[in-house]
Amino acid sequence: MKFNKNAVGREIPEYLEGIGELVPFKGVDAIKPTKKKAGAKLRMRIQDEPKIVASIEEAIKKSGLKDGMTISFHHHMRNGDTVVNRVLDIIAKMGIKDITLAPSSLSPCHGPVIEHIKSGVVTGIQSSGLREPLGDEISKGILKKPVIIRSHGGRARAIEDGELHIDVAFIAAPSCDEMGNMNGRTGKSACGSMGYAIVDAQYADYVIAITDNLVPFPNLPASIDQTLVDSVVVVDEIGDPKKIVSGAIRFSDNPRDLLIAQNAVKVIINSGYFKDGFVYQTGAAGASLAVTSLLREEMIKQNIKASLGLGGITSQLVGLLEEGLMSALYDTQCFDLDAVRSIKENERHYEISASFYANPNTAGPAVNNLTFVMLGALEIDKDFNVNVMTKSDGTINQAVGGHQDTAPGAKISVILAPLMRARIPIIVDRVTTVCTPGEAVDVICTDYGIVVNPRRKDLIETLTKAGIKLKTIEEMKEMAEQLTGKPDPVEFTDEIVGVVEYRDGSIIDVIKKVKD
Amino acid sequence: MKFNKNAVGREIPEYLEGIGELVPFKGVDAIKPTKKKAGAKLRMRIQDEPKIVASIEEAIKKSGLKDGMTISFHHHMRNGDTVVNRVLDIIAKMGIKDITLAPSSLSPCHGPVIEHIKSGVVTGIQSSGLREPLGDEISKGILKKPVIIRSHGGRARAIEDGELHIDVAFIAAPSCDEMGNMNGRTGKSACGSMGYAIVDAQYADYVIAITDNLVPFPNLPASIDQTLVDSVVVVDEIGDPKKIVSGAIRFSDNPRDLLIAQNAVKVIINSGYFKDGFVYQTGAAGASLAVTSLLREEMIKQNIKASLGLGGITSQLVGLLEEGLMSALYDTQCFDLDAVRSIKENERHYEISASFYANPNTAGPAVNNLTFVMLGALEIDKDFNVNVMTKSDGTINQAVGGHQDTAPGAKISVILAPLMRARIPIIVDRVTTVCTPGEAVDVICTDYGIVVNPRRKDLIETLTKAGIKLKTIEEMKEMAEQLTGKPDPVEFTDEIVGVVEYRDGSIIDVIKKVKD
């Protein structure tokens, strides 16, 4: 196997069986697209032929799904999803094999996929997220082809560029009419935005809506509309409502989270970018929520208003919108019930597709409008590279999500992380898996201080002038190691079980099989 | 030149200089698509590079527009549009030649295009509509390549199938932000829906927004969004508001229109299709408006509610929506101020693209949901073929619009036409130009009675049983000729100045140069 060292120093094979030729990562935005957008198969529906079919099996037969094809799902049902497992069981029963499973993400509830891998029904997986127990098993090498990990924007790009061609998209629809007009706003399985599924529906050769809530025609708004949907199947349930969205997530009172958040807010308000019209994204973890809460106070105090909030939307961001502190929300995914309510009620809470959110190969994805983004990390290394995919034991877990998309998109990307977790240091010499390149990471806020990437001389100067004490990454690493000791390196075999794509489709890292 | 007779008996050349090979029309829905959708050029915007440029000329330079390319415009500004003429003047000044002009339609205000044709700036036109004085001049043979006339659905299809490739789309935007998020809902040039422009923006290689109303980011809803727009130019005006949309169009009290409308309503309510959930489209001409008005009374009397109203939306359809007689409107184009107000206020008044409206090569265009459509005609012949494009003197005028899309889409297509106009009979032996094939025309309602296409035996039986007296097309034609005399045939040369495409891309007729 021939290897090329990529721009973050990882050895990338030139060719990988089951995937093909690999382009090594060349740096942020280094690869410009040259092709044309892909296009789904054109089809003309026979007029008056009903789209509603009696069963998923019948819909699959009509779709022409065959051995070797690629199917997709969205992950708006999160850990409450019952559609992936149900469809795979039916595919298995129908005797179809060698399927590539290409959902927007997978959750812990998708453990049953393991059996379909072992029986040869599923031979490839392309996803943003892979959790226990599936991630562990893949790390042991059970999957025939290496898994491809893509960010949300990277997946939209791969679909639109034609690298990920979806033969049949299965779309769990919280509300749907007989023509296939669907949205996520009503019904017992309401999930709010259907942003990830929109791209699938636009580019798949055949689209099957699976709904537990058939509503009168026309169902509006049509997040995915009748021109894209070939079959509609009504089932008893598409998910467990209790696990689809959370109730409002509570503000953290963990003192460590508060320390991290205080550092982040210090950076934001002294960065020179904290001005009317800023654009903000954060996640739903404790420290992120704490940042938003503290930031809100500063916005009120300084009378500064944001133009836009992005990302997976939480009740906190809905609050900023409703208070008039934020002019609009772009929503690819709702994280809680408040977000679902808001997207239904408020026209300034705007549903966008994963491509609108983060596809770099467009004339302007939303992530590139970000002023500040708050991001997490499993590991960060001396070069500021971030790992959000593999655990300290080297196995696949978690998800790349929008990390890789928002970090380069934002004016200031801030990693929020405790210095250690369960006595394992977060800042290390070399991350197990590079997901986001250090080039795109501007600031690290831990509970022990603030580090600014030396590339951001401007920011170091501004913050220092504002009287903020900064640490170097080496200082932070040493502090961690003093507290925890230097962890033993994880041992891997040479077998590659996965690749992590950068948002432009190049390979930023490979994931190897762990040693038993 | 070799010719093939098509399914409506017209001689279609196998090849036409300036267009290429022609596929003769083979019958409604006879040609199934086999290819994949086309795709626009992928592009990555350099982050932070402003999209706003100082002038249209600068935007054109950035677009890379060159001799021989194709440019597009939408016609939502209707006869108030000032963008087409302005852009063509600039292109001419820049010395660019041999341009194909491919707007969704052209209006009488586009007379200045004639000069650009004569100077070689414009050598091809593809449009749904062509009016005086431009239509007359093209009928005289001034354009280098034959004009291609497409329906609204046919144009969306041609763009999505890749037959009409747009190099640069110029989009007049009644409201737009610095990222290119635009809609037609606010501003002095508000036009409501931007349905026709949506397809252009999705498939053009370069998109220029031209606005007279720059609004704060993010402008929502984004009928056309930031991922599709390359440049934004702010100008003083994009149109004459007085001519963009009309005030509410008044109900006709022309007794002839009333007679026609009464016949149409008789057909509708006795057709067996007048039931809860019906889908309805009509135009904005006198008789159409009268039909809607009479139909409304019947809906109230019989307590029947429509699920959907389609098409160019008028205050009458808005009224039905607001009264609860219609559950929703799908809107590709607003015809009046009431429609503009309604689309802004009412989420059941839903903006759709021209492709959603009428592209036959999708999994379900809205036109195929129609129960009833009311359509006009310049001429109808014994085979029920309809001409909506050429005048009785043979010259090009008017527009195909959605005629060709809705007639086959609807369960019952009704042509509303007076028996004669200005002493010229409407029902003739052979229409000058076939735009909609007789196969798709179910009923003709004139001020002298009702004709049902003999193909619709079911409908003849139902209506006859209901006691409605029907006439044959021959009877109707004789009646017309008795009143007007048989008109002298128009004399044409052999030179083909245009082709009329059917919605599937085949050629339903050619338009020849008139004899001087």
CA distances from A115 to A101, A223, B246, B391 (A): 13, 33, 64, 69
Residue B252 confidence (pLDDT): 67
- Could A366 and B221 be called an inter-chain contact, meaning their C-beta atoms sit closer than 8 Å? no
Q: Alpha-carbon distance B424 to B497, whole Å?
A: 25
A324 close contact with B: CB closer than 8 A: no
Contacts of A203 (CB under 8 A, 6+ apart): A38, A39, A40, A159, A160, A165, A166
**What Rg do the C-alpha atoms of chain A give, in angstroms?**
22
Query: A399: closest CA among A389, A409, A390, A413?
Result: A389
Q: Alpha-carbon distance A473 to A479, whole Å?
A: 10
Residue B423 confidence (pLDDT): 87
Each of the 516 residues of chain A gets a pLDDT tens digit; together they read 899 999 999 999 999 999 999 999 999 999 999 999 999 999 998 888 899 999 999 999 999 999 999 999 999 999 999 999 999 999 999 999 999 999 999 999 999 999 999 999 999 999 999 999 999 999 999 999 999 999 999 999 999 999 999 999 999 999 999 999 999 999 999 999 999 999 999 999 999 999 999 999 999 999 999 999 999 999 999 999 888 877 655 666 789 999 999 999 999 999 999 999 999 999 888 899 999 999 999 999 999 999 999 988 999 999 999 999 999 999 999 999 999 999 999 999 999 999 999 999 999 999 999 999 999 999 999 999 999 999 989 999 999 999 999 999 999 999 999 999 988 999 999 999 999 999 999 999 999 999 999 999 999 999 999 999 999 999 999 999 999 888 888 899 999 999 999 999 999 999 999 987
Size (chain A), residues:
516
Question: Cis (ω within 30 of 0) for the bond into B24?
Answer: no
Query: A317: closest CA among A355, A354, A279?
Result: A279
Residue A250 confidence (pLDDT): 62
Contact status, residue A394 vs residue A514, Cβ threshold 8 Å: yes
- Using DSSP's 3-state secondary structure scheme, residue B290 falls into helix
- Could A347 and B308 be called an inter-chain contact, meaning their C-beta atoms sit closer than 8 Å? no
Q: Alpha-carbon distance B133 to B396, whole Å?
A: 9
* Range 396-415 of A in CB contact (< 8 A) with B: 409
Q: Alpha-carbon distance A356 to A333, whole Å?
A: 12
Q: Alpha-carbon distance B226 to B233, whole Å?
A: 14
- Could A218 and B42 be called an inter-chain contact, meaning their C-beta atoms sit closer than 8 Å? no
A135 close contact with B: CB closer than 8 A: no
- Could B328 and A218 be called an inter-chain contact, meaning their C-beta atoms sit closer than 8 Å? yes
Average pLDDT rounded to a whole number, residues B310-316: 92
User: Which among B352, B363, B368 has the least Cβ separation from residue A43?
Assistant: B363
DSSP lists the bridge partners of residue A496 as A512
Task: Name every chain A residue with its beta carbon within 8 A of the beta carbon of B364.
Answer: 45, 51, 179-180, 226-227, 229
- Could A43 and B33 be called an inter-chain contact, meaning their C-beta atoms sit closer than 8 Å? yes
- Could B42 and A51 be called an inter-chain contact, meaning their C-beta atoms sit closer than 8 Å? no
Q: Which two tokens stand for residue A56?
A: 């998923």
Q: Rounded to the nearest 10 degrees, how much is the dihedral formed by the CA atoms of B176, B179, B180, B183?
A: -40
Q: What is the DSSP letter of A33?
A: P
Q: Alpha-carbon distance B316 to B327, whole Å?
A: 14
* Range 169-208 of B in CB contact (< 8 A) with A: 179-180, 207
Q: Alpha-carbon distance A295 to A269, whole Å?
A: 8
Q: Which two tokens stand for residue B144?
A: 């280098």
- Could B43 and A362 be called an inter-chain contact, meaning their C-beta atoms sit closer than 8 Å? yes
Average pLDDT rounded to a whole number, residues B416-422: 93
Residues B415-435: b if buried by 16+ CB within 10 A, e if exposed: bbbbbbeeebbbbbeebbbbb
Contact status, residue A108 vs residue A131, Cβ threshold 8 Å: yes
DSSP for B63-84, written as a single string: HT--TT-EEE---TTGGGB-HH
Q: Alpha-carbon distance B92 to B94, whole Å?
A: 5
Q: Alpha-carbon distance B142 to B495, whole Å?
A: 11
Task: Name every chain A residue with its beta carbon within 8 A of the beta carbon of B345.
Answer: none
Residue to mutate among B202, B225, B307, with most A CBs inside 10 A, is B225
Contacts of A87 (CB under 8 A, 6+ apart): A56, A60, A71, A73, A170, A210
B364 close contact with A: CB closer than 8 A: yes
Residue B486 confidence (pLDDT): 85
Half-sphere exposure of B516 (CA within 13 A, CB side): 1
Residue to mutate among A42, A176, A182, with most B CBs inside 10 A, is A42
B347 close contact with A: CB closer than 8 A: yes
**What Rg do the C-alpha atoms of chain B give, in angstroms?**
22
Delimit the CATH 3.40.1080.10 region(s) of chain A. 53-241, 253-488
Cα angle B311-B313-B317, degrees, rounded to a multiple of 5 = 110
Phi/psi at B449 (5° precision): 140, -175
User: Which among A226, A307, A368 has the least Cβ separation from residue B47?
Assistant: A368
Q: Alpha-carbon distance B329 to A304, whole Å?
A: 40
- Could B37 and A32 be called an inter-chain contact, meaning their C-beta atoms sit closer than 8 Å? no
Burial of B311 (0-12, 13-18, 19+ CB in 10 A): buried
- For chains A and B, CB pairs below 8 A equal 166
pTM above 0.95, yes or no: yes
Element (H, E) at B268: helix B255-270
DSSP for A131-182, written as a single string: -TTHHHHHHTT-SSSPEEE--HHHHHHHHHHTSS--SEEEEEESEE-TT--E
CA A8, A9, A12, A14 torsion-angle sign: positive
Starting at the earlier edge strand, list the strands of the sheet with B99-101: B52-53, B231-234, B206-211, B168-173, B70-72, B99-101, B122-127, B147-149, B492-501, B507-514
Band of the pLDDT at B100, cuts 50, 70, 90?
Answer: very high
CA distances from A484 to A420, A445, A488, B420 (A): 8, 18, 11, 95
Nearest CA in chain B to A205: B36
User: Which among B45, B216, B327 has the least Cβ separation from residue A364?
Assistant: B45
B226 close contact with A: CB closer than 8 A: yes
Cα angle B92-B95-B96, degrees, rounded to a multiple of 5 = 80
Q: Rounded to the nearest 10 degrees, how much is the dihedral formed by the CA atoms of B245, B251, B255, B259?
A: 100
Contact status, residue A109 vs residue A85, Cβ threshold 8 Å: yes
Where does A359-449 have alpha helices with state H? 403-409
Q: Which CATH superfamily is domain B53-241 in?
A: Glutaconate Coenzyme A-transferase (3.40.1080.10)
- Using DSSP's 3-state secondary structure scheme, residue A401 falls into coil
Residue B172 has pLDDT above 70, yes or no: yes
Nearest CA in chain A to B326: A218
Query: B189: closest CA among B237, B235, B221?
Result: B237
Query: B344: closest CA among B356, B357, B329?
Result: B329
Residue A252 confidence (pLDDT): 67
Contact status, residue B45 vs residue A368, Cβ threshold 8 Å: yes
Q: What is the DSSP letter of B238?
A: S
Task: Name every chain B residue with its beta carbon within 8 A of the beta carbon of A225.
Answer: 352, 356
The bridge status of strand A443-446 relative to strand A386-387 is unpaired
Residue B248 has pLDDT above 70, yes or no: no
Cα angle B468-B471-B473, degrees, rounded to a multiple of 5 = 145
* Range 53-92 of B in CB contact (< 8 A) with A: none
A275 close contact with B: CB closer than 8 A: no
Task: Name every chain B residue with its beta carbon within 8 A of the beta carbon of A40.
Answer: 36-37
Q: Which two tokens stand for residue B368?
A: 């195929």
- A253-488 CATH: 3.40.1080.10
